[in-house]
Chain A
């Protein structure tokens, strides 16, 4: 009885692993496998990848665009959520609750609804078709979660640490920068990495706001597929998926510990 149960458990879980991994494994395989009608016609090899590398203005342009957008988003999120989280955790200022609600209300508003005015508004503030602009917009959508997390993290840092620094003559900004920020490094890492993943994978915001020469990789991949409508090059498509996925997956796996912790602290508080 017990044995039957155990083998059922292993059977079920193995099936589950296969279901979730198989599509990814298939993409990897298909990108190098012989595949009539694509660049990789005979034998295994990297022909799909070299087609991909030479697509449009060259794949490095698109990877560069993706990186630019992601780095801007991460920087903006880290600056805003550490300072903001610190303000909410440490200071009592007039309008604090209203400001905090305002940050959380970003979550309530569908971002699809913001993109139409942003097409016009970005032009008005001279940021049309700008990777930096898209990066900051992506940062906006990460603000609620990030601020919430940083606020909790700073609340967990004993006030005495900064007070001691200030007794030693630090100003409040130095105490913040030299004492409080280093103390919340795990939270910083997880907010930063989650933002990076979010920005790296963004499709919709760049579709609305960027022209095809400024396209980050996901948008470039979708554009590429559409340009060859009729004869869709699945080999190159899967190669693109692999290129898009590998950095994200490495980050995702390496930060697993952090975001599980992040979710946990959120859940306990919420």
Chain B
């Protein structure tokens, strides 16, 4: 076996690979090289060589991932900060640097506060409705029984729909002409006959919340269930022997042991709702009277609808980006979720 260079494994000739050495002395030598090239702490070879090889191979393997991230994640993040500091219109393209003009314009827009407030209200509503439902459902169907499996699948089905398609579906469901929900609500006296549910600010908000709860409950149920199943059953048995009733073991065992899972699902729901877009774009288009414009929708409006100003849209993007990173950071801290690395 002739190795030309320390990095020989990469340039290993085809013939050598097709005709692997079987003789004992050669095989031993091959094994040493393999170990070295695998980046093991050198058992046979010196550590420096194996480190070099491990480094090179590691970087080679990780390069497709890093290429995508560099091109489509890092470059746009840098660019969004540049754009936020530049006059940049949809049609006219890049013009002069005008920091902090874009930010002034964004903060001067009364819609900013309205949309921020509405987004918070919506986030609060969805999260506080979905999370207890998800927990309840998970506890109801966590045991693996035939009937439970059917229920689980049924509850999970809406998760297969995209947000845009489920919004289209509910758009039809809510319609005064063909939708059954309208007449049901009218019969219950909750709204006037033939009035559009999406026509009033409150109606539009709750109609959207209902859609989102329908779409996401199953998904969060699944995540919660996984957490529930990770709790060892003997903890419950021990509590039972100590005379704890169901409520007590729920409060003292289930909730504390489920905390990491619950924290994760709350964060996911809060983050997701803060960035809501599709459902409002499809269901309400921000109406009536801009009462359901979310922050992300405002970015879209600045870019394509009202202002056609990418600089302003970029400035708002920067604000959203920074706000979300800060919010996520504090949520992770306060909820005591560990870093995802083991």
Residues of chain A at the chain B interface (Cβ within 8 Å): 10, 12-13, 16-17, 19-21, 23-24, 26-27, 30, 35, 37, 76, 79-81, 83-84, 86-88, 90-97, 99-100, 102-104, 106, 108-121, 125, 136-137, 139-140, 143, 147-148, 159, 162-163, 166-174, 176, 197, 200-204, 207-208, 218-219, 221-222, 225, 232, 234-235, 237-238, 240-241, 244-245, 248-249, 251-253, 256, 260, 263-264, 267-270
Contacts and interface: CB of A to CB of B under 8 A. Distances in A.
Given A106-B69, A112-B299, A90 B38 contact: yes
Nearest to A165: B34
Interface stretch (B124-132, B218-226, B232-240, B241-249): B218-226
Contacts of B30: 166-167, 169
A27 B73 contact: no
Interface in B245-285: 260-261, 264, 271, 274-275, 277-278, 281-282
A202 B163 CA distance: 8
Given A17-B150, A116-B299, A91 B261 contact: no
A240 B137 CA distance: 30
A113 B173 contact: no
Contact of B68 (A10, A35, A76, A245): A76
B157 A109 contact: no
Contacts of B171: 225, 237
A112 B163 contact: no
A91 B154 contact: no
Q: Give the size category of B's interface with A.
A: 35 or more
A143 B164 contact: no
B61 A103 contact: no
A16 B137 contact: yes
Given A83-B65, A201-B162, A201-B165, A117 B72 contact: no
B168 A221 contact: yes
B222 A116 contact: no
B134 interface: no
Nearest to A253: B153
A270 B259 CA distance: 13
Interface of B: 9-10, 12, 16-21, 27, 30-31, 34-35, 37-39, 51, 54-66, 68-69, 71-73, 75-77, 79-80, 83, 88, 94, 137, 140-141, 147, 150-151, 153-165, 168-173, 175, 177-180, 214, 217-218, 222-223, 226-227, 229-230, 260-261, 264, 271, 274-275, 277-278, 281-282, 296, 299-300, 303, 310, 313-314, 317-318, 320-321, 324-325, 328, 338, 340-342
Contacts of A91: 38-39, 54-55, 57-58, 61
B65 A143 contact: yes
Contacts of A80: 64-65, 68
Contacts of A76: 68
Nearest to A144: B340
Given A23-B169, A204-B277, A253-B153, A269 B83 contact: no
A225 B175 CA distance: 13
Contact of A140 (B72, B170, B282): B72
A19 to B, nearest CB: 8
A38 to B, nearest CB: 8
A112 B246 CA distance: 44
Nearest to B172: A234
Contacts of B177: 37, 234
A267 B66 CA distance: 26
A118 B278 CA distance: 18
B310 A110 contact: no
A118 B76 contact: yes
Contacts of B274: 110
B162 A202 contact: yes
A126 to B, nearest CB: 12
B248 to A, nearest CB: 20
A241 B169 contact: yes
B169 A256 contact: no
Nearest to B55: A93
B151 A218 contact: no
A204 B278 contact: yes
A203 B164 CA distance: 6
Given A169-B19, A256-B156, A104 B340 contact: yes
9 contacts: A17-B151, A83-B65, A84-B64, A99-B62, A110-B274, A173-B10, A203-B281, A252-B160, A260-B226
Contacts of A174: 17
Given A116-B310, A221-B168, 16 more contacts: A10-B147, A16-B154, A80-B64, A81-B65, A84-B64, A87-B61, A87-B65, A95-B59, A97-B341, A115-B299, A140-B72, A143-B68, A169-B20, A172-B10, A203-B278, A241-B165
A9 to B, nearest CB: 8
A115 B162 CA distance: 19
Contact of A163 (B27, B38, B328): B38
B138 to A, nearest CB: 12
B160 A232 contact: no
A92 B54 contact: yes
A20 B161 contact: no
A106 B73 contact: yes
